[in-house]
A and B are shown apart, each in its own frame.
Chain A
């Protein structure tokens, strides 16, 4: 709230806001004036419109979003005696349980102070069963909940009664919801609510996005006219003050640690009240935290916060944050970190931000008073990241946005929704199809796809119709689809939602690495099973700010003990990795191509590029540079597309296949966000010069045809995607707490299903869903395709005597990477060789001639 004692004046006289008397009194008493966008939104809502509010943090978004509900509830005639109880009036959906709880707290104040007869309650996965039961019988006026709970509510047979009085739905953090499968499921839920209450109005609250129209369409029912919600945009206050750290030290060639800049980062923390340090991965967070503490002689209170840490630890940090008792906090994601941000006056971004919008949202977290500039420092971890930080800085200055475009709704999500709708009430396929198509992500869904998904829900959708008699949903005589047994509704409730928990184990911290039957110990958090599987007892790694010794896995817990080492032996600990956005990639390419702009860069980086121009060449913005050179007894090929790691990894797989076919004996490859390096036994440069193969053929778009298809057959990345689709669509059930003990023996692994399905029915609807996902997800085929078409006829080959300056960082990543891809057989053979050495002469495995 801005401080001003004024009477509100609506901005748009065509839609004047009616602010009831008690509200005016409340504002006056507080010495506040409603902000223009709050009144604007209220006026449009009162005129019956759905509205998208785009505003930065601290703009009073929450109150704006709820004013229409609160005023409507205040003016609504009182319930007459004997009149049946009323249903929910306003539904609030947020991606985070914590956010719902926080909003409840923040709304309660005005509701009580104004004296409104309004009840508000949260309903999340943590809400006790009895309270949920009670909420169904006596719903609050405002229900604050999550997308998963909405799915459950609309799948209930009494949904129509429960939502009989629904007027508004408020969707918070809409920009982050819409890009996920949770958002797709939510869009289908919204379509159902509109069906139940055609006059329902949606209010979306969002940070700045690249394409606001996509969100405006998302909020309202879609038809041929592509209708949109109204939009209100609140400009950010003062431009943020962002700088790139000018280090005295050398910026490293490669790596992601930013270790070189730690003393300067600590100094910046000392110079400010409270600093928020953002990194991109959990491993970076752990590393940064431990490096800071290593030199934190004044023991400034610096805390660590990321999604894998134990909840109680996270809450402690958040509490300390609220009371301003921390000087700095290292975090991975804005959403991980609770709600209350205290008095942050500096944001430091360690590592490149990967996207302009992401940077803007993270910086927006500092300084809650939106009219004062927020202050941020970017710390690039290596030389390519210097270019990327510079590009992000420019983007921020221009106000450029690069949030990802929305993708079509997933078929697996649709399958889940269809079963839910059958649980609610028998449905007519034509009617449900029309309803589904009114949701923006499904507006282009062909009818035959819908029918195949319906068939999948009913009997698995196989060409071999052997499961007809076990159908989960069947058509009644009247042609309506209904569930064939109540237990399928139960099954649906247990598996609802699109959040796939990566299998993770609790980390138990025991005092001294006893290998005996020691139990107990403090829980530090959860770590992905996939990472723990790569460890052997005695390995050390960083987690929860400590160097830990891995002692082993017992049942479903991982046991660790304090390690005496200062440095962790196993450096790698994955976690979310964001791809470099197309927008930033383009700016980086542009910057590289234009020597005039190198002045803006730190000297050592500018020198590096000048040296590149001298020894090799600097590619033009739209060209693809390929360098080849010998080194050691190998031949290297460096490719610089700047299209992000996922697309490069896919390209690497496909190119090595093609080089294999050309008998050039490729040995391996390494992919970074910026470039791809391949090495081989044969002279690649010589082969390309002779046109055997031609580079234009090697990079032909047709690699996305059969070659891609072949590779996808065995790719573990695709199997992982398939597993997610199988879980969301309900083909296999989620693992629930307490069930883990049944073990692998009885569960059917998704990998086995994938292999069987792929060999018998490659066009099955779930495999289609998998390929659709992979194309935009782990394999990033869409981006690779766009790149291949962009560089057609623009490939620049430089055959060099030796390594080029630009290639140095990529070469340094080689060897850092772990064994890649499909080398399992070799690893098995190695494990066996150990045996031969151990057991030589024992004759156990050997046989008499």
Chain B
């Protein structure tokens, strides 16, 4: 019997990755950090419709991003789309945040993948905007595709999972993967989740090898489908 692996270690199409409990994904061999669905400026987007969520979501998300960037010190960063909650989000973002972002980006290759919320290149921030990108045998895009692929890393769905244990229900964001495709959790402060047992995921995975890597407070917990519950 081998010793248990450190929490959150995964393989996608042969690449060794680490699901970090912050919700970021780290490929050490590629010095690559991936985050998904930041939904920056979601608060101000809601405010335009008269819903005044606390205007601290961008600050919270960027602070967390900056921590994880500092911790891994990656050469390359990919933001997997829906980085801004709407097309005008980047332009609306207050100056101090723009600077904080620029500081993080300094000396790194930074890719903004376009998403359904932000289909165009973000205005007024550094980094290269692309619809998808291939690195180390992996393909990074916002929405997972239905075609059979090996090595796809996507976001968009905001996966979450739920367990029921001893009469208690625990619901967490999670990384959802079957070894060939991985759907990343949303990183943004005000982002909700969609249960991995929802029909939106049905044709994406080989369920015999599917695992939900749930984000605990202390570490990542890897849960098999038999222990997952819908809702």
Contact = CB atoms under 8 A, between A and B. Distances in A.
Interface stretch (B65-73, B105-113, B134-142, B162-170): B162-170
Given A753-B54, A756-B56, A847 B166 contact: no
Given A818-B168, A828-B216, A460 B54 contact: yes
B168 A732 contact: no
A534 B211 CA distance: 21
18 contacts: A467-B44, A470-B50, A491-B50, A534-B168, A572-B167, A732-B53, A748-B190, A752-B192, A818-B166, A823-B168, A824-B217, A828-B163, A828-B216, A829-B216, A830-B165, A835-B222, A839-B224, A840-B1
Nearest to A761: B54
Contact of A834 (B216, B227, B230): B227
A124 B167 CA distance: 39
B209 interface: yes
A843 B10 CA distance: 11
B2 A846 contact: yes
Interface in A562-588: 570, 572
Interface string A813-849: 0000011000111011111101110111101111101
Given A467-B47, A470-B48, A745 B55 contact: no
Given A466-B44, A534-B164, A846-B2, A745 B158 contact: yes
B60 A756 contact: yes
B221 A731 contact: no
A825 B218 contact: yes
A771 B142 CA distance: 41
Interface in A756-814: 756-757, 759-761, 764
A467 B92 CA distance: 12
Interface string A516-544: 00000000000001101111100000000
A842 B222 CA distance: 14
Contacts of B5: 845-847
A-B pairs with lowest CB-CB distance, top 10: A460-B52, A533-B169, A745-B194, A827-B165, A760-B56, A828-B221, A831-B163, A470-B47, A744-B192, A846-B5
A699 interface: no
B174 to A, nearest CB: 11
Contact of B164 (A485, A536, A732): A536
Interface in B159-205: 160, 162-170, 172, 179, 189-195, 198
B55 A831 contact: no
Contacts of B218: 825
Given A534-B164, A744-B192, 14 more contacts: A467-B44, A467-B55, A470-B44, A536-B164, A553-B231, A733-B51, A744-B194, A749-B192, A756-B60, A828-B216, A831-B223, A841-B1, A845-B10, A847-B11
A536 B164 CA distance: 7
Contacts of B169: 530, 533-534
B189 A570 contact: no
A464 B56 contact: yes
Given A467-B47, A827-B168, A844-B179, A536 B229 contact: yes
Given A745-B158, A847-B9, A752 B224 contact: no
Given A744-B192, A745-B158, A756-B189, A827 B166 contact: yes
B59 interface: yes
* Centre residue among B50, B158, B169, B221 by max chain A CB count within 10 A: B50
Contacts of B34: none
Interface residues of A, number: 67
Contacts of A834: 224, 226-227
Contacts of A313: none
Nearest to A749: B192
Interface in B1-55: 1-2, 4-6, 9-11, 16, 42, 44, 46-48, 50-55
A757 B60 CA distance: 10
Given A835-B223, A838-B226, A847-B5, A828 B209 contact: no
A460 to B, nearest CB: 3
Nearest to A821: B168
A829 B5 CA distance: 14
B118 interface: no
A828 B214 contact: yes
Given A828-B216, A844-B209, A744 B54 contact: no
Contacts of B157: 745
A487 interface: yes
Given A459-B52, A825-B216, A747 B192 contact: yes
B37 to A, nearest CB: 10
B221 A757 contact: no
B152 interface: no
B211 A845 contact: yes
A289 B124 CA distance: 68
A552 B51 CA distance: 34
A393 B195 CA distance: 52
B57 interface: yes
Contacts of A472: 50, 52
Contacts of A764: 54
A831 B214 CA distance: 11
A786 to B, nearest CB: 32
Contacts of B190: 748, 752-753, 756
A818 B167 contact: yes
A410 B52 CA distance: 19
